[in-house]
Amino acid sequence: MATTDFSNYDAAGVPKGTGLRLGLVVSAWNPEITGAMRDGAVETLLKHGVALKDIHEEGVPGSFELALGAQLLLEHRPLDGVICIGSVVRGETPHFDFVCQATAQGIMDVGLKTGIPAIFCVLTDDTIEQARARSGGKHGNKGVDAAVAVLQMAALRRRLTS
């Protein structure tokens, strides 16, 4: 279990987001959690120079649908990266394992297929309390972490393809 706030980062080391066009695909399942991560991501992107008009958001029903949502968004918008935001809380059946594995694999596949950064911002927690702690609570906000990651990966892609 994490014991620190991983959303504390050196802002000076984060690439500028000026001119970047980025997508957010947000799961409607566990909206308290996904909404908080979405807010953390948007705040961080704005802080690093991404214009609000250049953040394109779409909703999907659940985490399982994040990969297709990201792929569709990338097919229909000229974007430099996409953040996939979801939350899966363990229940009493193996459903959790199947959804988490498929979601992770799907998001990775979108990035590899398109060559555009697809960032995994999906909490896979045992309890809702753990999810709250990682979506703006004592362990930071995974949305902030994902926003930093998309800025870093978009900068890498631009540097290597220019």
pLDDT in tens, 44-65: 999 999 999 999 999 999 999 9
Q: Is 48 a catalytic residue?
A: no
Letter string b/e over residues 42-67, b meaning 16 or more CB atoms within 10 A of that residue's CB: bebbeebebeeebbbeeebebbbbbb
Ramachandran region, residue 55 (left: φ > 0; alpha: ψ -120 to 50; beta: rest) = beta
Q: Is the pTM above the cut of 0.85?
A: yes
5, pLDDT greater than 80: no
Catalytic annotation, pick one of 48, 56, 76, 95:
95
Enumerate residues 6+ apart whose C-beta is below 8 A from 127.
89, 90
Q: Identify which of 99, 114, 134 has the alpha carbon closest to the alpha carbon of residue 1.
A: 134
Q: Where are the domains of the chain?
A: 31-157
Instruction: Count the Cβ atoms, other than its own, within 10 Å of residue 149.
Output: 18
* Fold of the CATH domain 31-157: Rossmann fold (3.40.50)
Please tell me whether residue 83 adopts helix, strand or coil conformation. strand
**Strand (E) positions, 79-141?**
81-89, 118-125, 135-137, 140-141
- In tens, the pLDDT along 128-151 reads 999 999 999 999 999 999 999 999
